[in-house]
């Protein structure tokens, strides 16, 4: 279940449920779920030369892209977001 507004520009709202296809790798620019410091987060993921960039999608809130060293053991890719469910 999503907690927060960091991905609202992608249509993922606070309280939504995301459907995740499990995978340990992800194509650049895809929306995925990663574990970081024992907390799951939904972000657009970019695997770069020696780091992973986690990019939010909420222009109004001004979230900054977070960069994590690729060798940092605190981060683990869980999978790619394939859908979103919302209560009506």
Question: Catalytic residue among 43, 55, 56, 69, which?
Answer: 43
Q: Render 6-44 in DSSP notation, one character per residue.
A: TTGGGT--TT-EEEEEE-S---TTEEEEEEETTEEEEEE
Active site residue 6: yes
Instruction: Supply the residues annotated as catalytic.
Output: 6, 43
């Amino acid at each position: 279940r999503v907690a927060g507004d960091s991905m609202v520009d992608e249509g993922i709202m606070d309280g939504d449920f995301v459907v995740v296809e499990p995978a340990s790798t992800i194509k650049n620019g895809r929306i995925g779920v990663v574990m970081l410091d024992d907390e799951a987060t939904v972000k657009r993921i970019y695997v770069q030369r020696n780091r992973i960039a986690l990019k939010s999608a909420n222009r109004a809130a001004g979230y900054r892209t977070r960069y994590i060293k690729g060798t940092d053991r605190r981060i683990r890719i869980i999978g790619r977001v394939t859908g979103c469910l919302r209560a009506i």
